[in-house]
Structure 1
Amino acid sequence: MALPIEQQAKYWGIATAVVFAILWFLGDVILPFVLGGAIAYCLDPLADRLEKLGASRVLATVTITIVAILIFCLSFLLVIPSLLEQAGQLVNTAPDVFERLRVALTERFPSLIDDQSVMRKQLSSIGEAIQAKGGALVEGLLTSAKGLINILVLLVLVPVVAFYLLLDWDNMTARIDELLPRDHAPTIRKLAGDIDATLASFIRGMGTVCLVLGAYYAVALMTVGLQFGLIVGFIAGLVTFIPYVGALVGGILAIGLALFQFWGGTQMVDGASVEVATDWFRIGAVGVIFVIGQVVEGNVLTPKLVGKSVGLHPVWLIFALSVFGSIFGFVGMLVAVPLAAMIGVLVRFGIEQYTEGRLYRGLDKQD
């Protein structure tokens, strides 16, 4: 005999509260396990595919781990140093960008020449603030271990956790299935399947889209000679999972830097004043790069890799990232998308049950 609905709601409520309490109290302590679990979840389909080709689970896991470590080492040696260097240079260049903007505005609005002008003070303060806070942020990311526990611990623990979770993933899911309440097992399996489909489409698919677009933007921008092409491509790819935001943020940043770098004017070369013409071709090329990226993303990458039925609205994603990030910190931001997907599936299931129930249809409505 099934438990009354009140007791079921109580037990499920307690389980939910325990999960949130763990996130709240443990926080950064569980960060390596959250990252390792996310990596294992993303790599599980690849391990299953290798198993279908005849490899054992151990061989599949070891092969994936070796390839992943090689890719990480190559990235760490070839890409990450340049990325950090460009990030620092971009932060230090910000005051010069705003100084160029101030000069351009001064030519159009002579009143800005006045030292007491509000606009001039604001532009100067913005540039100084970006340099100070941006520099502090980059320095903090490089020197502080408190936000991410300890970089060395992460680099050691995350691959180990991911390896063992990937190795035992099928056994763990089978064991969890055995422990499901028998009366609700079919419903839970259906909901779990819907959540997995949503996560697979969004996290795995959108992760691939972000990686492809980030690499494309970085390579293309560096090809046309943009000074900070690598970091701009990284930023644009990183936020591509929110539709249009990646291209908008990256495009504005790239075009602004292109105007700063390729706009004509008087420059000092070997102590002499030289007049440099505006390079309209490169400025236009930067804009075309982002237009092409949006066309390819909207018509090829997203439909093929993500699909159309993910069910995660951009506003819902932003809200989830903001709420979970503010409450649970960095770990909250990591689990925001999976939890948003789960909540979305549960809400749709609840709406479906509501529209089929008496509260919606009425006591006398029967199909």
Structure 2
Amino acid sequence: MTSDIPTPEESAPSSTPPHAENTGSFTEATDVFEAMSPHDDHARIDRSEVIAHGVKVLSTWCIRILIIAATAFATWYLLKQVWRGILPVILALIVCTVLWPPTIWMRRKGIPSGFAALISILASFGFFGFLIWIIAPDVGRQSQTLYFQAFEGIQKIQLWLQGPPLSLDSEELNDRINAAAGWFQSKSGTIAGEIFSGLGVATSVLVTLGVVLVLTFFFLKDGEKFLPWVRGIVGKRAGWHLTELLARSWITLCGFVRAQALVSLVDAVAIGGGLLLLGVPMALALAVLTFIAGFIPIVGAFVAGTLAVLVALVSLGLTKAVITLIIVLAVQQLEGNVLSPILQSRAMNLHPVVVLVSVTLGGSLFGIVGAFLAVPTAAMIAVLFRYLQDMTALRAGEKTADDIKFVTRAGSITGKFGEQKNQELIAAKLKSHYKQSSPPPRDAEPQPEDEHAVVLQSLKAKISDLTHLFHKP
């Protein structure tokens, strides 16, 4: 029979406070929650550290982009200040892309470089003179006929104005002609000023062409001597990079000129053929003008097309003029939106959209010259970025020197150097990873890497010895 009297142990007061039971249950719940958690606290990183690292990387890249943008703006501003001096150099380089093949061929045949350059320039003048000699007689024969046809066309316009629906009488028509003449007389001072301004511009153009001619001669004569001079200024290693980069840019520029010449030839053949089928006078002269004007963006095609339509209107009437206009517009739209972007993108390895956008931006910023130089400029920038990508891929180990097509011996040297840098980076990374993953034991002798590490280790050893002495019994 059990007694209801409590034992001493049961009747003794408990040493545990009443809230301890709750604390123990909370601790047990925490342990269960941590056991159920799939991640270890030691393997976690605080979210603030992750966000801070992301903001740090973003701010670093923003600063870099701002520096690049400021540099680009400063470069653009400087180019605008010295544009008149740079433009002849660029035009001379473009002319050299056409004259360089015959020049180098003559030099390989034993002709001195100066004579080869002079012969190439004179031959180009002779070619254009031959074209003028072919076209001039045709233009001379038919110009008088066009004059009489234009006079008859003006008389027809006067008769049409005097008839319905306008029904203008001769006196009213003469009054309007006299009013137009009076307006021209009142604006004669402004017109004369613009003419003299135009003469100044023409003089500047002639001076620029003369400078282009002289620069073309020296570029053809001593072109290959400029690269050693550049290497001597910037140093051997940077000179190797510049040699490869300039050689690639030269090949790209040659491709642009050939593509533009092919596009202009297609325009000339298509429009000239249409004019011949319609029987338009001076079809050959207009075709040659179309070919030459094809090298001048926007304005060249407009002037050549307008002249062809006017000649057709004066000589053949309104119907044939409308047909000529349709032919010119169709050919120009096909050339500007399809043929030119495709050929230039293939020659310079650019997407057609890049070609169209570059022409639009160049024309809006720098006018006709900007539209003409926009595509080769975009191609040069693309060459620079591709070269930087190749060098980055080499140092990252994504490519080898044999995977990249270099165009110069200097480029091959930079490729081998890039492979060497990749091996050095990999070795340094492996060494750092090995040191972090396997720290040396305490008893192992330290391997100092510099004098400061040696001094620190010796001081630590002396302090350790003194500590042992003081702790001895």
Q: Structure 1 length normalisation: TM-score? A: 0.54
Shift of 1:43: 1.6
Query: Which residue of 39, 52, 56 maps to 2:108?
Result: 52
Query: Which residue of 236, 239, 251 maps to 1:197?
Result: 251
Shift of 1:57: 1.0
Note the alpha carbon deviations across 1:114-143, whole angstroms, 9 max, x for none: xxxxxxxxxxxxxx9xxx9xxx99x97998
**Corresponding residue number in structure 1 for 2:93:** 37
Q: In the alignment, residue 198 of structure 1 is paired with which amino acid? A: T
Q: In the alignment, residue 324 of structure 1 is paired with which amino acid? A: G
Quickly say closer, same or farther: Cα 1:191–1:172, change in 2 above 3 A. Answer: closer
Note the alpha carbon deviations across 1:173-198, whole angstroms, 9 max, x for none: 33224445544455444433332222
Query: Which residue of 141, 150, 162 maps to 2:216?
Result: 162
Quickly say closer, same or farther: Cα 1:213–1:327, change in 2 above 3 A. Answer: closer
The percent of aligned pairs where both chains have the same amino acid is 23
**Corresponding residue number in structure 2 for 1:324:** 362
Structure with greater contact order relative to length (CA < 8 Å, sep ≥ 6): 1
- Greater displacement, 337-346 / 149-158: 149-158
Does the alignment pair 1:153 with 2:207? yes
| Contact 1:28-1:331 at 8 Å conserved across structures | no
Query: Which residue of 373, 380, 398 maps to 1:335?
Result: 373
Quickly say closer, same or farther: Cα 1:20–1:242, change in 2 above 3 A. Answer: same
In 2, Cα distance between the equivalents of 1:355 and 1:144?
53
Note the alpha carbon deviations across 1:9-34, whole angstroms, 9 max, x for none: 99999986675344301333544343
Does the alignment pair 1:171 with 2:225? yes
In 2, Cα distance between the equivalents of 1:227 and 1:28?
40
Aligned residues: 302
**Corresponding residue number in structure 2 for 1:65:** 121
In 2, Cα distance between the equivalents of 1:51 and 1:185?
26
In 1, Cα distance between the equivalents of 2:393 and 2:267?
41
Instruction: Tell me the secondary structure at the aligned position of residue 346 of structure 2.
Output: coil
**Corresponding residue number in structure 2 for 1:106:** none
Is the radius of gyration larger for structure 1 or structure 2? 2
Instruction: Tell me the secondary structure at the aligned position of residue 279 of structure 2.
Output: coil
| Contact 1:40-1:165 at 8 Å conserved across structures | yes
In 1, Cα distance between the equivalents of 2:273 and 2:197?
29
Shift of 1:60: 0.9
Q: Which 5+ residue runs of structure 2 have no aligned equivalent? A: 1-63, 167-179, 185-189, 399-473
Q: How does 1:163-312 map to 2 (within 5 A)?
A: 163-211=217-265, 213-214=267-268, 217-218=271-272, 221-222=275-276, 224-227=278-281, 229=283, 233=287, 236-237=290-291, 262=316, 308-312=346-350
**Corresponding residue number in structure 2 for 1:24:** 80
Alpha carbon RMSD of aligned pairs, Å? 6.1
Q: Which 5+ residue runs of structure 1 have no aligned equivalent? A: 1-7, 104-111, 114-127, 265-277, 361-367
| Contact 1:23-1:328 at 8 Å conserved across structures | no
Q: In the alignment, residue 362 of structure 2 is paired with which amino acid? A: F
Shift of 1:342: 0.6
Shift of 1:65: 2.0
Instruction: Tell me the secondary structure at the aligned position of residue 110 of structure 2.
Output: coil
In 2, Cα distance between the equivalents of 1:188 and 1:329?
30
| Contact 1:44-1:169 at 8 Å conserved across structures | no
Shift of 1:159: 1.9
Shift of 1:172: 1.4
Quickly say closer, same or farther: Cα 1:75–1:329, change in 2 above 3 A. Answer: same
Quickly say closer, same or farther: Cα 1:310–1:161, change in 2 above 3 A. Answer: closer
Instruction: Tell me the secondary structure at the aligned position of residue 168 of structure 1.
Output: helix
**Corresponding residue number in structure 1 for 2:408:** none
